[in-house]
Amino acid sequence: GAVVSQHPSRVICKSGTSVKIECRSLDFQATTMFWYRQFPKQSLMLMATSNEGSKATYEQGVEKDKFLINHASLTLSTLTVTSAHPEDSSFYICSARTGAAYNSPLHFGNGTRLTVT
């Protein structure tokens, strides 16, 4: 069964509004979660690493003031897209490892399809 739960699966919002996406680890604690973005027919691009109890680490070119990440507990990370614009429309996916070993695979949530009108 799923080990990472993501909600909502789809969201449509108006330009200028904010959208919050939740990512939960099921039956395990995740001190680190990863947020990816995927545009149509392109690969997964790492946006940021979410760290429980501390600030997220953002990849180059990702605006931290626009994509707010909060990892307040060991099982929940949230990504808020602030002041969304049509170019933010994309597939956002969170992921986490169930184990600490480097060979532990990333497990992905089912993704959130964001459409900004």
Partner 1 sequence: GQNIDQPTEMTATEGAIVQINCTYQTSGFNGLFWYQQHAGEAPTFLSYNVLDGLEEKGRFSSFLSRSKGYSYLLLKELQMKDSASYLCAVNQAGTALIFGKGTTLSVSS
Please report, as ranges, the residues that interact with partner 1 according to CB under 8 A: 6, 32, 34, 36, 41-46, 49, 91, 93, 101-103, 105-111, 113
> What's the Cα-to-Cα distance from 85 to each of 69, 81, 112, rounded to whole Å?
18, 9, 16
For partner 1, which is the closer residue by CB, 19 or 48?
48
CB of residue 93 vs partner 1: minimum separation in angstroms? 6
d(CA 86, CA 72): 29
For partner 1, which is the closer residue by CB, 11 or 45?
45
Q: How many Cβ atoms sit within 10 Å of the Cβ of residue 83?
A: 12
CB of residue 102 vs partner 1: minimum separation in angstroms? 4
d(CA 69, CA 90): 17
CB of residue 12 vs partner 1: minimum separation in angstroms? 15
For partner 1, which is the closer residue by CB, 4 or 81?
4
CB of residue 16 vs partner 1: minimum separation in angstroms? 27
> What's the Cα-to-Cα distance from 91 to each of 5, 72, 98, 102, rounded to whole Å?
15, 23, 23, 26
Q: Are strands 19-25 and 32-38 parallel, antiparallel or unpaired?
A: unpaired
For partner 1, which is the closer residue by CB, 33 or 84?
33
